[in-house]
Amino acid sequence: MAYTFTRRAALAIAASAALVASSATAVLAEGWKPQKPVEMVIMAGQGGGADRLARLFQSIIQKERLASMPVLPVNKGGGSGAEALRYLKDKEGDAHVIMATLNSYYTTPLRTDIGVDIEEFTPIARMAEDTFILWVNADSGITNLDEYVAAVKAAGRDWKMGGTGTGQEDSLVTAMIEAEFDLDVTYVPFKGGGDVAKNLVGGHINSTVNNPSEQMGFYNAGKSIPLVAFTPERLEAFPDVPTARELGHDIVYAMQRSFVAPKDMPQEAVDYYTAMFKALSESEEWQTYTSEKALMPAYLTGDALQTYFLEERAKHKAILDNMEGEGSS
């Protein structure tokens, strides 16, 4: 056992040495630099869409040597991100912690009382807005929104809509669809977007509101059909898919993919990370990824970002209040 232990320790040391060596040459901003590895807290568990994206950011930072110290992703997905939010709150003034957010950044503190006010956190950068599309199985024979609404009306509660959980982004969109078209569907929660996608193709649910990246593989294979996009404009990756707005239904919803930092992070550190994400947003890999996965690049920083966060929080409060008012299951 002693032997295995030393071997493993040696391995770990070698690994971290290589990490440090690979990034030691990186110089980005003048002045302040991180003095130790930077923790990148992820508000979701391993393997999900948010996690994958955060790790993509980390890999680009590492590969392009955008940071002088390694960035270490840490998953704190408990309680729809409650765990991560609490953690960040306790890190007040820390210059070596950043957090990758999704919309549970607003909804979780609204739904559960965890003593977190997101207004206190320091906004760093919004990298993109993820989009939502309504999908059906290719075997269903449904090709447009009208047919969809007719089919759901006929099926009533037998219509199964898959999603990632009550209060999550897709359930909000589902609630908006139900309200707009006066529908009443059965909402079945799954563990992650990938699981939902598979159950749609396997015929265990009838439709879902997935991020494009989660359905891309099946869409390319002709197994699922996008009906309508909940974006302001048509998506580059799906030029033939109409937006809900075009069809006369004002449902627009996006999921922000941003980074925030603890309360009172030193200004030099905020500048450092902002510059780092600026460089990241201009990297070729990121540009390719956003266009392929139908993500809308939407770089935003500073006060403008904080204003955006607060507006979004107010919007989500309205949606959530509305959902609870209906007593939806």
Partner 1 sequence: MEMLALLGDGFATSLSPLNLMVVLLGVTAGLFIGAMPGLGSVNGVAIVLPLTFIVPPSSAIILLAAIYYGAMYGGAVSSVLLGIPGASTAVATTFDGRPMAQQGKAGLALIAAATASFVGGTISVVLFTLFAAPLADLALAFGPAEEFALVLLAFTTFVGLGGDDKLKTVVMICLGLVLSTVGLDLISGQPRLIFGDMPGFYSGISFLVLAIGVYGIGEILYTIETSKTAPQVTPAKITFRELGAGLKRINKMWKTMSLGSFLGFFVGMLPAAGATPASLMAYGIAKQTSKEPETFGKGNIEGVVAPETANNAASTGSLLPMLTLGIPGSPTTALLLGGMVMWGLVPGPMLFIEQPDFVWGLISSLYTANFAAVLINIALIPLFVWALRMPFTVLCAIVIVLCIVGGFAPSQKMHDVWLIAAFGVAGYLLRKADYPLAPLVLALVLGPLMEKSFRQTLIAEQGNVLAFIERPLSGFFIALAVLFFVLPLVQAWRRTARRAIAPAE
Residues that bind partner 1 (CB under 8 A): 1-5, 7-8, 11-12, 15, 18-19, 22, 46-47, 51-52, 55-56, 58-59, 62-63, 70, 74, 76-80, 82-83, 86, 111-112, 157-158, 160, 165-167, 186-191, 194-195, 197-199, 201-205, 216-218, 220-221, 223, 288
Q: Which residue's CB is nearer to partner 1, number 30 or number 63?
A: 63
Q: Which residue's CB is nearer to partner 1, number 3 or number 31?
A: 3
Min separation Cβ 127 and partner 1, Å: 16
Q: Which residue's CB is nearer to partner 1, number 5 or number 182?
A: 5
Min separation Cβ 189 and partner 1, Å: 5
Amino acid letter, residue 199:
N
Q: Which residue's CB is nearer to partner 1, number 135 or number 305?
A: 135
Min separation Cβ 269 and partner 1, Å: 22
Instruction: Give the residue among 247, 251, 259 at the shortest CA–CA distance from 300.
Output: 259
Q: Which residue's CB is nearer to partner 1, number 219 or number 230?
A: 219
Q: How far is CA 52 from CA 208, 214, 273, in A?
A: 20, 11, 20
Q: What's the DSSP call for residue 206?
A: S
Min separation Cβ 19 and partner 1, Å: 7
DSSP code per residue over 242-264: PBTTTTT-----EEEEEEEE-TT
Q: Which residue's CB is nearer to partner 1, number 123 or number 212?
A: 212
Helical (H) or strand (E) element with 209: strand 207-210
Min separation Cβ 59 and partner 1, Å: 5
Q: Reduced to 3 DSSP states, what percent helix, strand and coil does the chain have, rounded to the nearest 5? A: 45, 20, 35
Strand order in the sheet with 296-301: 71-75, 38-42, 97-101, 254-261, 122-131, 296-301
CB-based contact 83:77 (threshold 8 Å):
yes
Q: How far is CA 288 from CA 15, 85, 229, 236, 275, in A?
A: 29, 31, 21, 12, 20
Phi-psi region of 279 (alpha: psi -120 to 50; beta: other; left: phi over 0): alpha
Min separation Cβ 247 and partner 1, Å: 28
Q: Which residue's CB is nearer to partner 1, number 18 or number 150?
A: 18
